[in-house]
Amino acid sequence: MYITKRSVAFIITLILLVLSSCKRYQVSSPSLLFSPQATLPPIRERHTVDTLRARVYNEQGINLYRNGDIEGAISAWKAALEADPGYAEAHYNLGRAYYEQGKYENALFHFQEAVRIVPVSSTAQYNLGLAYVALGRLNEAKSAFELAVLLEPEYADAYFNLGIVNYLLGNYDEAAFDFENVLIIRSNDIYALYNLGLTLYARGDTKRAIEKWEQTVQLSPVYAEAFYGLGLAYLKQGEIEKARSAFQNCININPNSVIASEARRELERIGQQQ
């Protein structure tokens, strides 16, 4: 699918990560990131009449999609596959279109076909991982993201999503490694910093979690969830005034948000204990 913007974020799931010192309250991470890459390279150039017809239909689908006609694009890509069932790019584009429509089983089938035809494509493996996540098949998603980073060692988005999947599976050491790899590739990625803080906190490394969340709010002073996490972490360390300040910052950013309501409750609790 020919999309020219740097990245397109799709909500597969909001990752609700429980901070252990206050189990009633949860903090949500950013949504998983959709691959910014557009098309699959062919495994080899073919010049049969069927392949040429498939290529024409595939280009028609791309143009229809650009003009907002997703159903027309799907019909064109299906026609491409009728002409040449082994045309990987049409499978890939159909997977993307069905994914956008929330038809995850259909998306999975076409991403699987794209991977079968072009197994060395990090892009296809990445999007296959997203389809598995959408269907709750986390272990299979993990394998797909691992293959994506094996094929493309600087694939930051794949490391990011691998980190989220490892967190959900309770593999905190692996998740921390994944988010650290994102930060090697993109040193100021605030979402990776935030999620690294969550991961460190979950495995009991409060001091380093504070360090990562402090870096997060330095880079993004309006990251309310990071301030909330800092508040809980400071409380755990017994640093009451720092906790109070962090919770207040969380509230100031978006007073009407759910996270602000939780921060107010923490401030009330602090007041009752003093």
Q: What is the pLDDT of residues 5-17, one digit of tens each?
A: 222 222 222 333 3
Kindly indicate the confidence band of residue 132, based on its pLDDT and cuts at 50, 70 and 90: very high
Residue whose token pair is 């959709």: 34
More confident residue, 56 or 29: 56
**What pLDDT is stored for residue 46 in this prediction?**
55
Q: Give the pLDDT confidence score for residue 40 in this predicted structure.
A: 53
92: helix, strand or coil: helix
For the beta carbon of residue 110, count every other beta carbon within 10 angstroms: 27
Q: What pLDDT, in 10s, does the model give residues 34-68?
A: 444 445 554 444 556 788 899 999 999 999 998 99
Angle between helices 138-151 and 122-134 (to 10 degrees): 160
Whether 212 contacts 194, CB under 8 Å = yes
Q: Are 195 and 211 in contact (CB under 8 A)?
A: no
| pLDDT score, position 9 | 29
Between residues 26 and 148, the one the model is more confident about: 148
- The pLDDT of residue 234: 96
Q: Which of 101, 99, 135, 102 is nearest to 114 (CA)?
A: 99
Q: Distance (Å, rounded) from C-alpha 183 to C-alpha 187?
A: 4
- Tens of pLDDT, residue by residue over 79-92, are 999 999 999 999 99
Q: Is 140 exposed, middle or buried (0-12, 13-18, 19+ CB in 10 A)?
A: middle
* 18 pLDDT more than 70: no
Residue 162 in this model has a pLDDT that exceeds 80: yes
* Whole-number average pLDDT of the chain: 84
Q: What digits encode the pLDDT tens for the residues 190-220?
A: 999 999 999 999 999 999 999 999 999 999 9
